[in-house]
Amino acid sequence: MDYLSITGPSRLGGEISIAGAKNAALPLMAATLLCDAPVVINNIPDVADIRTLLKLFDKLGSKFLFEDHTLTIDNEAVNNTTATYDIVKTMRASILVLGPLLARFGRCEVSLPGGCAIGQRPIDLHLKALEQMGAIIEIKNGYVVATAPEGLQGTRIIFDKITVTGSENIIMAAALAKGKSELINVAKEPEVVQLCEVLHAAGVEIEGIGGDELIIHGTDREPVCFEEFSIIPDRIEAGTYLCAAAITYSSVTLNHVRPDHLDAVTAKLHEAGCRVESDENTMTLYPAARLKAFEISTTEYPGFPTDMQAQFMALATQAEGVSIIEERLFENRFMHVSELQRLGASIHLKGHTATLNGPIQLLGADVMATDLRASSALVLGGLAASGVTNVHRIYHLDRGYEALHEKLKCLGAKIERLKE
C-alpha cells in the first residue's frame, strides 16, 4: 500500500491542468448502455473509480479501449445484466447502471451498495422512481432485482429529496421509456446537466435542461446514438487545488476549468481574503494577506458542495478567527476532523457543525485517509504543517484524483509517494 509523505510548510507556484470530472464520466459511461453502437468519450480522468466501472462493463460483456483519457466503448454485445457485490462494494456509483440496464434489457440485478464511511446513503429514491415507471423491484440475497418485461413507462416523478445519482439513474431510464416523463426536484449539478445535454445530442428530446424540472420524451426502447463528446472539467479537483494555493499563501493557475461551475467555492475563497481571477477556462488564485475565518453550509448545486467541505475545513485551520462549517447532506462526513486534530487543528464538533479556531501552526504527523475528499483535506493540512506529514491509505485519493502528487510536485510541493 502507498502513502504520501509531505514536508511542509510548502510554498506553491505555477500552473496545472485539471482533469475531466469523475462524477460526470461515471453516469455518461453508464449511459452508453442505452446505445448498441460504438461511443467515443474524451477527457475521462484516469482514476480508480473509472477503472472499477470498466471492470463492471467487462463483466457485462462490453467491448472497450481506454487509452490517453479516451474511451471507445461498444455495448452491442452486452449479455449480462448483473452488477455483482465485489464491484459495487468498492464503488457505490456502480448503482448508475441500474437505470440504463433496466431500460434497455427489461431486467437487471444490482448489488445493494450498503453503508458507507460518510453516511447511510440509501437508494430508496432511485427504486421508488423506477417503481413509479412500472418496474417491479425486489430485494433478494443482497441484490436489487428489477424487472420491467413490457419496458418502462414515462410518468410524473417528484423526488422527495434532491439526489445526484438518483436523478441520473432516472434520467437514463426515462430516455428509453415509453412516453413522457416529468421529473420534478431534479439535481442541477453540472454533471447532471452534461448527462442531459449528451442524451439530447443523442436524439432524446429533453426540455428544461439545467433546471430542476425536466420533461423527457422516451424512445420506447429504441437505442440512442451518441456523438463523440468530452467530459467537463472536474470542479472538485479544481476547488481542491485552489484550496492548496490558498492554504500555502501561494499563487496558482488552473487550466482546463469551468469557473462558472465553481461560483460558490470562489465566493468562499473571497470571503477568506483570497482573490480569484478567471477567464473562460482558466482560474488564478492570488493569496490572502491573512486568511480570514468564514462560514460554510453544504447544500445542493449551485450552493456550496459537500465534496469541498473537508478541504475548506483544512483551510479554516489557517484562517484568523472562528470558522463554522455545517454539513447538511451526509450525517457522518466529519471523519477528517480527528485526523486534522492530529496535526494540531482546534476543532469542536457538535452534531452537524464544526467550529474551528485559527490560525494554528499545524505540526506534521501520521494521518489516515478515510474517504476520498477527507483524504485531500489531510494533504492540504500536510502542505501547511511544519515538518513531515505522512498520509496513509491513499487508495481513497486514487479513486478520484489523477496524479495528485505529481501535480503538487509540479507546483513546488515537497511530496513523495512511498510504499508502506
Strands 156-158 and 180-184: parallel
Per the annotation, the verdict on 116 as an active-site residue is yes
Which residues, in sequence order, are CB contacts of 37 under 8 Å at separation 6+? 74, 76, 223, 225, 226
Residue 27: closest CA among 153, 212, 163, 146? 163
Q: Looking up cell 452534531, which residue turns up?
A: 351
Of 106 and 303, which CB lies nearer to ligand UD1 in the complex structure?
Answer: 303
Of 137 and 388, which CB lies nearer to ligand UD1 in the complex structure?
Answer: 137
Residue 12: closest CA among 223, 299, 245? 245
Tell me which stretch binds ligand UD1 (CB under 6 A): 76-84, 115-123, 312-320, 384-392. Answer: 115-123
Does residue 401 touch ligand UD1 according to CB under 6 A? no
Q: Is 106 exposed, middle or buried (0-12, 13-18, 19+ CB in 10 A)?
A: middle
Does residue 311 touch ligand UD1 according to CB under 6 A? no
Take residue 91 and report the three cell numbers written for it: 464503488
Does residue 93 touch ligand UD1 according to CB under 6 A? yes
Q: Shortest Cβ distance from residue 400 to ligand UD1 (Å)?
A: 8
DSSP-assigned letter for residue 301: T
Does residue 121 touch ligand UD1 according to CB under 6 A? yes
The alpha helices in 248-291, defined as continuous H runs, are 263-271
Does residue 163 touch ligand UD1 according to CB under 6 A? yes
Q: Shortest Cβ distance from residue 300 to ligand UD1 (Å)?
A: 7
Angle CA(107)–CA(112)–CA(116) in degrees, nearest 5?
150
How far apart are the C-alpha atoms of 52 and 155, rounded to whole Å? Answer: 33
How far apart are the C-alpha atoms of 275 and 284, rounded to whole Å? Answer: 8
Q: Which residues pair with 348 in a beta bridge?
A: 355
Q: Shortest Cβ distance from residue 376 to ligand UD1 (Å)?
A: 12
Q: Shortest Cβ distance from residue 119 to ligand UD1 (Å)?
A: 6
The answer to whether the Cα torsion of 314, 315, 318, 322 is positive or negative is negative
Q: Shortest Cβ distance from residue 192 to ligand UD1 (Å)?
A: 9
Residue from 161, 270, 275, 348 binding ligand UD1 (CB under 6 A): 161
How far apart are the C-alpha atoms of 235 and 401, rounded to whole Å? Answer: 12
Q: Name the helix (H) or strand (E) containing 247.
A: helix 235-247
Residue from 109, 237, 307, 402 binding ligand UD1 (CB under 6 A): 307
Footprint (CB under 6 A) of ligand UD1, residues 173-212: 191
Around Cβ 210, how many Cβ atoms within 10 Å? 11
Does residue 26 touch ligand UD1 according to CB under 6 A? yes
Tell me which stretch binds ligand UD1 (CB under 6 A): 64-72, 100-108, 124-132, 239-247. Answer: 124-132
Of 122 and 302, which CB lies nearer to ligand UD1 in the complex structure?
Answer: 122
How far apart are the C-alpha atoms of 201 and 228, rounded to whole Å? Answer: 10
Tell me which stretch binds ligand UD1 (CB under 6 A): 7-15, 160-168, 374-382, 389-397. Answer: 160-168
Q: Shortest Cβ distance from residue 301 to ligand UD1 (Å)?
A: 7
Of 126 and 396, which CB lies nearer to ligand UD1 in the complex structure?
Answer: 126
Residue from 73, 98, 125, 264 binding ligand UD1 (CB under 6 A): 125
Q: Shortest Cβ distance from residue 370 to ligand UD1 (Å)?
A: 14
Residue from 18, 123, 176, 337 binding ligand UD1 (CB under 6 A): 123
Does residue 309 touch ligand UD1 according to CB under 6 A? no
Which residues, in sequence order, are CB contacts of 141 under 8 Å at separation 6+? none
Q: Measure the CA dihedral 15/46/100/116, to 10°.
A: -90
Instruction: Given the residues 116, 196, 274, 410, select the one marked as catalytic.
Output: 116
Of 161 and 348, which CB lies nearer to ligand UD1 in the complex structure?
Answer: 161
Chain contacts with ligand UD1 (rule: CB under 6 A): 23, 26, 93, 119-126, 161, 163-166, 191, 306-307, 329-330
Which residues are part of the catalytic machinery? 116
